[in-house]
Structure 1
Amino acid sequence: MRKILSASLGTQLFVLQMAVVLLSAGGTAGVWTEHLRDQLERRHQQRALAIAEAVAGLPEVREAFAHPRPPSVLQPIALGVQAATGADYVVIANRDQIRYAHPNPELIGRRLSTDGSPVLSTGRAWTGVQTGTLGRSVRGKAPVRDASGAIIGLTSVGVLEETVAGQFGAALPPLLWTVLAVLLAGSAGAALIARRVRRQTFGLEPAEIASLLEQREGVLHGVKEGVVALDLQGRVTLLNDAARELLGLSPCDVGRRIEEMPLSDRMRDVLAGEDEGDDLVVLHRDRVLVLNRMPVAVRGRSNGWVVTLRDRTELVRLARALDQASSTTDALRAQAHEFANRMHTVVGLLELGEHETAIGYITRTTEVIGHHSAGIREKVADPTLAALLLAKSAEAAERGATLVLADDCRVEEGALGDPQDAVLVVGNLVANALDVLEEIGGTVEVSVRTEKDGLHVRVGDSGPGVSPALAEEVFREGFTTKVARSGPRGLGLALTRQACLRRGGWIRVHNAGGAVFTALLPRREEAA
């Protein structure tokens, strides 16, 4: 038993199935053997009874009981019937159970060795198995009646158990061959099943399968990236912990179709494979996710897809912060370059002895710079937003464009509260406008003003504008008309829309001498 339990899974299955086959075949054979023996005994009993009743109904038999010497008449009749029917014996006895006919003549005139009183007393035929002078036999007994119907004796016909056993033995070989065929078929089936199980489990034992399952669960639920498995019908078959957290789903969503889940159209398109590509960027709630969809094949057959999700929210925030820092650096570099040019001009004037001209040049330059900065601070009192606009103005000048503030700009100090979202919206819209004018130059007009319902932003450029067919498409994550230089592109406007919608606002685009983006960023208390 220990050897079997320690054997391989295929061996255990083979032994178990063979045990089931042996028990089934053996039990069936035993039942059929007993049934066959019972059938043979019942058949011989009915045959013996039919012969006994036929002998008892012969007129010669009834008349022989009135003969002075009944055995002289009945013995030949009994022997003739015995020879004609193939019975092992035919016995005739009178009312007192004295034999008138018997295969052994020496027993004629003696009493029956078995009790025949039930037949004589009740007048009913009887069948059964008894042991007599010739041995154990299957018997049938019938009463002999005279012309008036009175019982005057009985007839007993029997077939020895040896005869029944011989017929039973002759009927056994087909049954044994059938059982053997069943055993062989069962062995072949058990071997095939064991082989199939071994092939399906790749030859792994239960302990190894359990270990692999534990490792699989540990890896899937331990990795930081989200993993979503889909079958060929688009149903989710697996969600690890990271995927549930990133998508806002629950374990109950396993088994549901993608269309039935609370996901955005963009997320559904990527999960379903309608939007193909590598490292696809999708905005989901407040997260920036990067998705990759790969097919899964088992033994060369497609079995579904697996989608990995990586959270790049912090990375995008850092990239945006880096872009802002880079913009500030570019602005400072541009100012430093411009300052160096002006200083060279002043030095040249001083070397030429043009002291008054140098003083006038410095005075005018200082007034222009101060007037520009003061103009921005006069319209935009919030220091963070004003610093952003000042940096973007310097960046625009460096890139061959001009940034101007509209006359309706008006932002009171402290009106923005936390300026993070305002900086995100204004910075992205201005950066997008500068990208459009990078090769052709032009003007970017910016209007920021605070109203009761929140911050209104309008950024227009003198570029070619936006096609009306793309008025909504430009806000989709991943949409870009620029060649990607580094990092994910097409996120600026998508993040801008996300920030506005998160606070209950909106963003739109139309053409008026170029693309004009307008947005409403409600106050936080109103959004709540």
Structure 2
Amino acid sequence: MTHVTDVEAKDVLIIENTRSAVAGLLRGRSLAAQFLVFQLVVVAVVLVAVAAVSVTQSEAEFREVRGQRMIAVAENMASTPIVRDRYQDPFAAQTLAPEVDRAVALSGASLAEILGPDGVVRASSDPSRIGTRVDLGASRADEGRAWFGDADVDGTHSLVGQVPILAINGDVLAIASVSEMYPSVWALLSGAGESLLVYLGLGAALGMVASWLLSRRIKRHTRGLEVAEIANLADHREALLHSIREGVIAVNDDGEITLLNDGAQDLLGVPGNAVGRRVDEVGIDPAVVSLLTSGADGQAADDTVIATRTRVLALSRRPATSQGRQIGTVTTMRDSTELAALQGQLSSHKSVTDTLRAQTHEFANQLHTISGLVQLGEYDAVRDLVGTLTRRRAEISDAVTQRIADPAVAALLIAKTSLAAESGVELRLDPASHLGALDQALATDVITLLGNLIDNAVDVSVGAAQARVTVRIDDREGLTISVIDSGPGVPEHLREEIFARGVTSKPEVPGGRGIGLALVRLVTAQQGGTVEVGDAPGGGARFSVQLKAVRTHA
């Protein structure tokens, strides 16, 4: 027989209705109130679960202990001589009534009966049941075995113990049956001990207090914002970060990327799954990594320009704090590649202006000399001076144009020769140099590369014992540009950093030419080439640029 207890039915009802009940309680309430209600529901469910376990244990204990008791009472009643002698008497109901009543009184059972093998009640402590048929169901008493178990007695869930009354040959003559109703849930809880009710009440009180404190804490930490408001803020933040052109990257104190927008992914060339990984493990340029991880001291870095192999980036780093404690840094960046190119062109124009100024100064001195000689009537000296100046100018021009066929590059070298001479530096073109005519676009890039390398070499060679800069250009296998200076050279550990580090958009910062060497590497990378720096044979530094292909025109 299957029977659902009150406790089981209550558990099923709670499980089925918890979702709708919680949803109804939370609807329209603040975030703190929702957490409070939710925690109270959790506490209530836990208390019900504890109570259910306690009831189940008490019920199992009741079944085991009282089941054995029912069998013992039934055996005692079955062994009574009068019961064995008069169970078939037509007046057995009246004759055996004292015995079944005594069994009920002595055992505390709800009902005691004498049944026939067919289940018909012959004597009962409840006279109204005499003559009715009992469904023996799972009972084994009709087979000659004692049995106890659950059964329905007049619609009441009861614990029944049944013992057969056997004949000498083992036939079942009658059945002694004793039953007791299962106690109510409250009775089972009470039977588990009054302390259980105290503990349940104390647990409920503590749970309510803890839930209230938690709701207050949540409300304080969320600044009183509700769930929808927090979701809207998160959505707006994501939309804002990923829609702006400037790059934004946040790094915590452990060097892990905690935020990376689309702009930063594009500028740094890193994948979107870089969030959560260390900044030095996702392929970011080492110079940028150094800047991103150097903010542990809480110092800001404003307008720092770093040239990677493909871009010129202007970065600004700020410490990120929470509740007065630094948790990392936030760095914004913008692409200054076009600006750097414009600055390089401006530097080229400035170089031409400086060259013209130097030549103007030189020509003015020469004209003054000629004027003085004319006034003195030294016409032969005038002729000799003009001849010397003409030959010298022709030698410089011929030395360049015989080896360099591109007019723009040749003009740059001639102009730089005069400008270097004004600084006390000799600029020489290697006799092995050779360059044909170039496309206009390539000629512009070559001028940018050559101009910046020569300017850098002249600057570091000023004041040297033999101030000399040697330039070699060769287009027979690709295009190779080599510039050797007589300066102090470049230490090996700085040969990568000089193309990116120490460059800033602030004009007052020392460092010479701003983005000169950075622009050299950038233009070289755009042409698919490489740039290297090493030691010159006679001391100083040697900068070598190798471009993969040369585009010439007829």
Give the TM-score normalised by the residue count of structure 1: 0.74
Q: Which residue of the other structure, out of 248, 252, 270, is the alignment partner of 1:249?
A: 270
Would you say the 8 A contact 2:163–2:176 is kept in 1?
yes
Distance 2:493 2:49 in 1: 79
After superposition, where does 1:289-328 map in structure 2 within 5 Å?
Answer: 289-299=313-323, 303-328=327-352
Would you say the 8 A contact 2:499–2:518 is kept in 1?
yes
Secondary structure of the equivalent of 1:354?
coil
After superposition, where does 1:479-490 map in structure 2 within 5 Å?
Answer: 485-486=508-509
Would you say the 8 A contact 2:316–2:331 is kept in 1?
yes
Is 1:187 paired with 2:208? yes
Aligned twin of 1:399: 423
Distance 2:230 2:185 in 1: 56
Secondary structure of the equivalent of 1:421?
helix
Q: Which residue of the other structure, out of 191, 206, 230, is the alignment partner of 1:171?
A: 191
Q: Which moved more, 1:73-82 or 1:279-288?
A: 73-82
Is 1:227 paired with 2:248? yes
**Aligned partner letter, 1:171:** G
Distance 2:26 2:186 in 1: 42
Distance 2:425 2:275 in 1: 53
Going from structure 1 to structure 2, the CA distance change for 1:33 and 1:360 (only over 3 Å counts) comes to: same
Going from structure 1 to structure 2, the CA distance change for 1:360 and 1:2 (only over 3 Å counts) comes to: farther
Distance 1:498 1:137 in 2: 92
Aligned twin of 1:218: 239
Would you say the 8 A contact 2:406–2:435 is kept in 1?
yes
Going from structure 1 to structure 2, the CA distance change for 1:426 and 1:153 (only over 3 Å counts) comes to: closer
Secondary structure of the equivalent of 1:215?
helix
Q: Which residue of the other structure, out of 507, 512, 534, is the alignment partner of 1:509?
A: 534
Secondary structure of the equivalent of 1:310?
strand
Superposition deviation, residue 181 in structure 1: 3.5
**Aligned partner letter, 2:32:** G
Aligned twin of 2:407: 383
Q: Equivalent pairs: percent with the same residue? A: 30
**Aligned partner letter, 2:470:** V
Is 1:50 paired with 2:72? yes
**Aligned partner letter, 1:221:** H
Going from structure 1 to structure 2, the CA distance change for 1:136 and 1:473 (only over 3 Å counts) comes to: closer
**Aligned partner letter, 2:247:** G
Superposition deviation, residue 11 in structure 1: 0.8
Q: Which residue of the other structure, out of 489, 500, 517, is the alignment partner of 1:477?
A: 500
Which structure has the larger Rg? 1
- CA-to-aligned-CA distance 1:225-264 (integer Å, 9 cap, x gap): 3223335554434321111211223324444444543444
Distance 1:121 1:437 in 2: 121
Distance 1:405 1:454 in 2: 19
Q: Which residue of the other structure, out of 374, 397, 401, is the alignment partner of 1:374?
A: 397
- CA-to-aligned-CA distance 1:421-460 (integer Å, 9 cap, x gap): 3223321222122212334585434344434214444434
**Aligned partner letter, 2:191:** A
Consecutive unaligned residues of structure 1, counting only runs of 5 or more, are: none
Would you say the 8 A contact 1:444–1:459 is kept in 2?
no
Cα RMSD after superposing both structures: 5.1
Superposition deviation, residue 511 in structure 1: 3.5
Aligned twin of 1:14: 36
Secondary structure of the equivalent of 2:270?
coil
Q: Which residue of the other structure, out of 221, 226, 242, is the alignment partner of 1:205?
A: 226
Would you say the 8 A contact 1:448–1:457 is kept in 2?
yes
Secondary structure of the equivalent of 1:419?
helix
- CA-to-aligned-CA distance 1:311-362 (integer Å, 9 cap, x gap): 2222322222222222222222223333344444555566x56384796488
Would you say the 8 A contact 2:358–2:418 is kept in 1?
yes
Going from structure 1 to structure 2, the CA distance change for 1:10 and 1:165 (only over 3 Å counts) comes to: closer
Going from structure 1 to structure 2, the CA distance change for 1:298 and 1:78 (only over 3 Å counts) comes to: same
Going from structure 1 to structure 2, the CA distance change for 1:416 and 1:116 (only over 3 Å counts) comes to: closer
Give the TM-score normalised by the residue count of structure 2: 0.71
After superposition, where does 1:275-354 map in structure 2 within 5 Å?
Answer: 278=301, 281-299=305-323, 303-345=327-369, 352=375, 354=377
Distance 1:335 1:163 in 2: 118
Distance 2:494 2:487 in 1: 14
Superposition deviation, residue 205 in structure 1: 1.6
Number of residue equivalences: 512
Would you say the 8 A contact 1:500–1:507 is kept in 2?
no
- CA-to-aligned-CA distance 1:399-438 (integer Å, 9 cap, x gap): 2333344444444444897212322332122212221233
- CA-to-aligned-CA distance 1:190-209 (integer Å, 9 cap, x gap): 33543454455343222221
**Aligned partner letter, 2:348:** Q
**Aligned partner letter, 2:267:** L
Aligned twin of 1:466: 489
**Aligned partner letter, 1:223:** I
Superposition deviation, residue 169 in structure 1: 8.1
Would you say the 8 A contact 1:448–1:455 is kept in 2?
no
Aligned twin of 1:5: 27
Would you say the 8 A contact 2:251–2:328 is kept in 1?
yes
**Aligned partner letter, 2:421:** A
Consecutive unaligned residues of structure 2, counting only runs of 5 or more, are: 1-22
